[in-house]
Amino acid sequence: MPSLDDVYRQFGETAEASQLLEVELGNIALMHKLLKKNLILEKNTDLATSIFDKINKSTLGQLLKQVGKSTDHIDELYSKLENALKVRNRLTHSFYREHNFRRNTEDGRLIMLDDLVNMHDILIEAYSVTDRPKGAGDDRPKGATRRGCFWVSGVVKSSLKDPFCQALFS
């Protein structure tokens, strides 16, 4: 039967999944703004720093709004991201309050673990639609490495053969 340490461990893994999603949405928002302001090729460190600082201070909900404003074409993906935001907020703000004294019994801890595993799955599914290193496609420039929707090798080039990336940047 699950121990309280098992619950705490799963809570930590679920919180980590939430942070992975938040970082990836921040990366997407940052790259979109850098491309929009032409800061990939033109150096303007003050503007780039300002953009980075604003994104770095953004909450997951704010990042989701920023990424959502960049396109009209990701309704299905956006709904997964919105659901992940609700899960993350519930995890952070009310998980232990909702489960309360369940932590004191084996059956209660099992219920808590099941809830955490379900939350983790939702967060990882949302993360997986934003981070696209798998199935990179055939548009890879020689010597480049994949980072989300972008190939990085000296000059950043969006990978617009990826459906998620097409939705974000078309």
Q: What is the pTM of this model?
A: 0.74
Pairing of strands 145-147, 155-158: unpaired
How many C-beta atoms surround the C-beta of residue 10 within 10 A?
20
Question: In terms of C-beta density within 10 A (0-12 exposed, 13-18 middle, 19 or more buried), how is residue 162 classed?
Answer: buried
Q: What angle do CA 79, 81, 83 make, to 5 degrees?
A: 70
Q: Tens-digit pLDDT profile for the chain (170 aa)?
A: 899 999 999 999 999 999 999 988 888 888 888 888 888 788 888 998 899 899 989 998 898 888 776 655 456 678 888 999 999 999 999 999 999 999 999 999 999 999 999 999 999 999 988 765 444 344 444 444 444 544 443 444 444 455 555 554 44
Which position has the token pair 């703004």? 33
Which position has the token pair 């928002």? 29
**Domain boundaries, given as residue ranges, for the chain:** 4-131, 136-170
Q: What is the DSSP string of 26-89?
A: HHHHHHHHHHHTTTTTS--HHHHHHHHHHHHT--HHHHHHHHHHT-SS-HHHHHHHHHHHHHHH
Six token digits for residue 110: 């099992």
